[in-house]
Structure 1
Amino acid sequence: MTAITRATTAVLVATAVLAALAGCSLLNPELPRDDAGQVLEPSVIGSTDLLVGDCFSFVEGSNLSEAEVTPCATEHTHIVIGKGALAKTEIGEAGGLQNAVSSSCSETFSAFKETVAEGIRPEQEFIISECSTDDGTAMTDYACIATDAPTPEA
């Protein structure tokens, strides 16, 4: 197992366990955002409340359950590049949770890699949370995230 695979697995497993305690949050905190949806000032939120396009760093000591979301032009370590949900059957058909989420995020991550500067090698990671829909169906929400660096303002 490569170091990247071990690191990705560690993030996936640790986040899945911790985020499962939070459940499915349909209510995102009200953060000040610009017209494009980008946050205007740093704020600490639950990592499962991040939105696509959010730039963030995990809060040290939070066991990956909290993130400081920041404007993308400021210092951060990750960006959310996609989100989705998987039913238990989809996870089984893919051969397990890591395979299902990795497959679901692969196109998004490939597209993201095309946008980074030459010589930069982002790593793909995931945030996972278990929840139930209104009808009681068990679902796994996921966020596709990538390592990232600040984007200079235009």
Structure 2
Amino acid sequence: MRRSETEFAAFVVARRPQLRRIAYTLCGDWHQAEDLVQTALAKLYVAWPRLHKAGAEEAYARRIIVRANIDESRRPWRRERPGVEHHDRPVAADHSEDDRSELVRALQQLPPMQRKVVVLRHWLDLSVEETSRELGISTGTVKSHTSRGLAALHVLLSAERVESRSNR
């Protein structure tokens, strides 16, 4: 193996779990998250020599995940729901890392753009400007989506805590 391929393989081994969690948080589906990560890694492999020299490989992978998720949500077949309502239920993932926390459940209830902005700003700790560039929206839009998303998360998480206490 060439040196750049070895470095790419090491990057994939080290960063794939985090990239998968980021993708899941954006789209809410583990299978789709895996597809997004695969797309990002394939594109990253092509651009690896240039990006690795600049140290921008992780930012590039995140950007591809976000953009691929946006592209997928625009495809007509993504708007269709398979099966008969209430009869086809997804199989639960049996990986401990796939367990949904209160926060992830609450994030999934946010509108898609608010979820993306909150994840990029507060999970990945990107600045307003970096988030703006990643999503292709203005900084003002990032700020308003962040504000609305955090307010909605506060309400959702407070409601879940009250509900879990009353069920005890």
What TM-score results when the alignment is normalised by the length of structure 1?
0.26
Identify the structure with the greater helix proportion: 2
Q: Which has the larger radius of gyration?
A: 2
Identify the structure with the greater strand proportion: 1
Using CA pairs under 8 Å that are at least 6 residues apart, name the structure with larger relative contact order, 1 or 2. Answer: 1
